[in-house]
Amino acid sequence: MPVAITLADHGLGVLLTASGMLSGRDVLETNIAFLSRHLEEFKACRYWFADFSQVSASTVTEEDLQRVAALFSWAGRHNLRLVVALSGPRAKESGFSRELTSLGATTGWTIEVFRSADDARAWLRSTVQPELSFI
C-alpha cells in the first residue's frame, strides 16, 4: 500500500508517508486502521506530519477528501491540541489543502501546508519541540 502511518518520537507524533500512485481509498483506509489500533496513543500526540512528497500521481476525489475530513473531525474530538503539517510539491494547490484549512476551524488543530518536507519538519520543530526526529 502506498500509504503508511506510524507513531514517531516515542509517541509524541504521527508520521504519514505516501508514495507512488495515491488513491483516496488508500488514504482513508490507512487512517481508519491507524486510528482504530492507536486511538489511545493518538490522544497523547502533539503532531501529525503527512509527507506526500513521494507521490507521483493521485486519483483522490473531492468525495474522498470529504470522507477523510469527516474522519479527522471525529479524531479532533479525541485530541484537541494537535499540530498538523502536510507536505508535497503540489500541496498548496490541492483540494486536500483546502479541506485541511476548513478542518482546522472545526477541530482546533493548528494546520500548515508546505511544498517541501524539510520546511514542514522545520516548522514542526519550531512549533512542537526542537528535538523532534520523526522516527
* Domains, the chain, with CATH or none: 3-127 (3.30.750.24)
Helix (H) or strand (E) holding 122, with range, is helix 117-127
- pLDDT, tens only, 60-114: 888 888 898 889 989 999 999 999 999 987 665 565 666 666 766 788 899 998 9
For residue 8, what are the contacts with CB-CB under 8 A and spacing of at least 6?
14, 15, 49, 132, 133, 134, 135
Q: Is the pTM of this model over 0.75?
A: yes
